[in-house]
A and B are shown apart, each in its own frame.
Chain A
Amino acid sequence: MSKKNIFSVLIFFVFIDLAGFSQTAFTAMKNPEAFKTKFNEISESTISIENDFIQNKNLSILAKPIVSEGKFYYKKENKVRWEYSEPYFYLIIIQGNKLYVKDKNNQKQYDTQSNKMFQELNKFLVGCINGDILNKTGNYKIEFKENNEQFYVILVPNDPKMKQMLNEIHIYFDKKNYSVVQLKMVEQDGDFTNIEFFNKKINGNISDEKFNFN
């Protein structure tokens, strides 16, 4: 190989490295207030979100994560459908204060107001998706970061009960449309759940039947 070729190869790898580095390295967000304002504007105009997701549950006792897959639907106001297809069918529908779960063998409806745990989990999950959680500055210590492609927000709960359940919440947003692309929930012992969202459709037509309890 000539000196010129070796040099070209070296340059190529340097660029590959730089490209990889620029995608992953996050630095402090230059203007968090502008991000929040823009995010709130976009949230206001977002009527529906539909996407696929892959969820990895990482437990320190397991060598490999537990992988779940499915489809996620959100429709204003407060209508959420988590439809798991792997490792088995499981459906969660949240509509206002009502929560409905269904699997192959059972179905059950809950009033989240009568169950504080469900109410908190419901608010938390919906808040992570529609971004309401960013406005709860009293409930979380929030750190804002960014790179070329994503905004990255780290939330540390102030409430000791919440902190007992989740030590940190990491949310990644696509810079192009401010939608959530990844949600990572880290527990006290370091175990974590990572949910990646893809094939996103924003403001598509989602039928109300998707959120019916039957």
Chain B
Amino acid sequence: MKNLILISLLVFILNSCTLFLFNFHNNLHKETLPVKNINSYFSNSDSSYLYQAEIWFMKNYYSGLMVIKPQNDSLTRVVFITETGIKIFDFEIRNPLLFKKFYKINYIIEPMSRRIICNTLANDIGLLCQNGNVKFIDAFNDDDKTIFRIHNRCKRYLYVYNQNDYGYNIIHVNSIFSRKAEVIFYGINNFAPDSIKIQHFGKNLNYIFRRIKQ
């Protein structure tokens, strides 16, 4: 009886997960594509990008300025400072295909220096900054959009490209069983998105970045 309940539960979870993964794009045409570069919006090492950043973590709210500075094709520095100039963190985000560890912490203010917080921050910021050639699991398209699905470190990423935009405008992050996070890019142009929203599902952590035009 106990096994029956467990098996039923497992079938239900897998079924739900299958439904989620495939309903999302089941009416699109499936294509097989070769390895391709997915470049971040922040890949021009001659430019720097300044955003007003707001972070909601549990019951806390942090705000400040986030500077994104690509150093080369495989390395981007991201520095977060408060409005009064106090540095909160300084990360190096690296191409995960070239480096064993995809980020390096140059500095993080002491109360935030716990490993779990560093990992979470680096994962989220990595979504914005990582460049690299990726092997697509598959791709789907219709008249309005193209979706590339990739697999990396136990997670699946769906990059959604609207036909009229300069690049992808949504990244869906899923684990095997559930939706993990969603990154939405607004006001996409040939320099950088005007604003970016990162929303976590099942974790009380959300970000909004608004570009400051210098």
Please tell me the size bucket of the interface on B. Answer: 20 to 34
Contact A189 B67 (CB under 8 A): no
Write the A61-77 contact mask toward B (1 if CB under 8 angstroms, else 0). 11100101000000000
Per DSSP, are chain B's interface residues mostly helix, strand or loop, or mixed?
A: strand
Given contacts A88-B52, A106-B54, A193-B85, contact A117 B110 (CB under 8 A): yes
Contact B67 A59 (CB under 8 A): yes
| Interface check B98, CB cutoff 8 A | no
Contact B83 A90 (CB under 8 A): yes
Instruction: Choose from A59, A87, A92, A193 the contact partner of B212 (Cβ within 8 Å).
Output: A87
| Interface check B65, CB cutoff 8 A | yes
Expressed in whole angstroms, the Cα–Cα distance for A165 and B83 within the complex equals 16
Write the B60-98 contact mask toward A (1 if CB under 8 angstroms, else 0). 010101010101000001010101111100100000000
Contact A92 B67 (CB under 8 A): no
| Interface check B48, CB cutoff 8 A | yes
| Interface check B57, CB cutoff 8 A | no
Expressed in whole angstroms, the Cα–Cα distance for A116 and B106 within the complex equals 23
Expressed in whole angstroms, the Cα–Cα distance for A188 and B79 within the complex equals 14
Please tell me the size bucket of the interface on A. Answer: 20 to 34
- The minimal Cβ–Cβ distance linking B143 to chain A, given in whole angstroms, is 36
| Interface check B33, CB cutoff 8 A | no
| Interface check A17, CB cutoff 8 A | no
Residue of A nearest to B208 (CB): A105
| Interface check B14, CB cutoff 8 A | no
- The minimal Cβ–Cβ distance linking B98 to chain A, given in whole angstroms, is 20
| Interface check B50, CB cutoff 8 A | yes
Task: Give every chain A residue within 8 A of B65 (Cβ-Cβ).
Answer: 57, 66, 87
| A-B pairs with beta carbons under 8 Å apart, 27 shown | A55-B85, A59-B67, A59-B79, A61-B69, A61-B79, A63-B48, A66-B65, A66-B67, A68-B83, A87-B50, A87-B52, A90-B63, A92-B83, A101-B63, A106-B54, A116-B111, A117-B110, A117-B111, A121-B84, A121-B86, A125-B84, A165-B109, A185-B85, A187-B107, A189-B107, A193-B84, A195-B85
Known contacts A62-B67, A68-B83, A92-B83, then 7 further A-B pairs from the complex at CB < 8 Å, ordered by chain A residue: A55-B85, A87-B50, A106-B63, A121-B84, A161-B110, A187-B87, A189-B106
Which residues from chain B sit less than 8 Å from chain A, CB to CB?
48, 50, 52, 54, 61, 63, 65, 67, 69, 71, 77, 79, 81, 83-87, 90, 106-107, 109-111, 212
